[in-house]
Amino acid sequence: MQPSLHKACQPLAVMVGEWRGSGIGDYPGIEKFEYLEEIVFSHVGKPFLTYSQKTKTPSDGQPLHSEQGFLRVIDDTTLEMVIAQPTGIIEAHNGFYAANPKSCVVNLESTQVASTATAKPVEQVRRLLRIEDNRLTYDLSMAAVGEPMQHHLEASLERVKPE
Ligand code: HEM
């Protein structure tokens, strides 16, 4: 039986669910690319949301980037999020949010980005996520591989209707 959403997560209840859509990405030194994406925000009844994401190429469905994490609501306006990537990058974020039952904005700024020995060097990450009218959109910028903070990704996903 699915537990009820913890009281601390109620302000961000609009995020909970499955989202599907597409995005585009670029960065100095790489080819511009398109991707299909699935995001799931879920919960286990504790005061955090779980986050998982996976992407694939639109042309032949080959898996691309994926990541998983946790989002913890701190108070009426602030939250924290940790995200781990299989490429050896670990992000810790402080964030602000504004939400109502139908929409929200979440603004994340990394306080630390750690990497394993063979990961590409990422110094800083900014993520801006919005939900409105059952559509989730986000922008991601990063300072990485010696480049200053700039755009890497933008995407738009729709809520997957429960069966
Ligand atoms: C939707 C999620 C993402 C997708 C589809 C994606 C896709 C890609 C692709 C296709 C490349 C170029 C090929 C490669 O180096 O593998 C790339 C490069 C890169 N990505 Fe991402 N990425 C995503 C998220 C992220 C995130 C969250 C970070 C870091 C916080 C990140 C950091 C990097 C770095 C550092 C590079 C190398 C850039 C370079 O060498 O110039 N990516 N990404």
pLDDT digits (tens, 9 = 90+) for 93-151: 999 999 999 999 999 999 999 999 999 999 999 999 999 999 999 999 999 999 999 99
Rounded CA-CA distance 63/57 in Å is 7
Atom number, ligand 1, closest to the C-alpha of residue 125: 30
Do 9 and 49 meet the contact criterion of CB atoms below 8 Å apart? yes
Rounded CA-CA distance 7/73 in Å is 10
Atom number, ligand 1, closest to the C-alpha of residue 31: 12
Q: Is the pTM of this model over 0.85?
A: yes
Q: How far is the CA of 119 from the centre of ligand 1 (A)?
A: 11
Rounded CA-CA distance 24/104 in Å is 22
* Secondary structure class of 163 (helix, strand, coil): coil
Query: Domains in the chain, start-ordered, CATH in brackets?
Result: 7-158 (2.40.128.20)
pLDDT at 163: 65
Atom number, ligand 1, closest to the C-alpha of residue 147: 41
2 pLDDT tier (thresholds 50, 70, 90):
confident
Provide DSSP, 7-27. Answer: GGGGGGGGG-EEEEEEEEE--
Q: Which of 60, 125, 145, 153 to mutate to test the pocket of ligand 1 (most atoms within 8 A of CB)?
A: 153
Furthest-apart CA atoms within the chain: distance in Å: 48
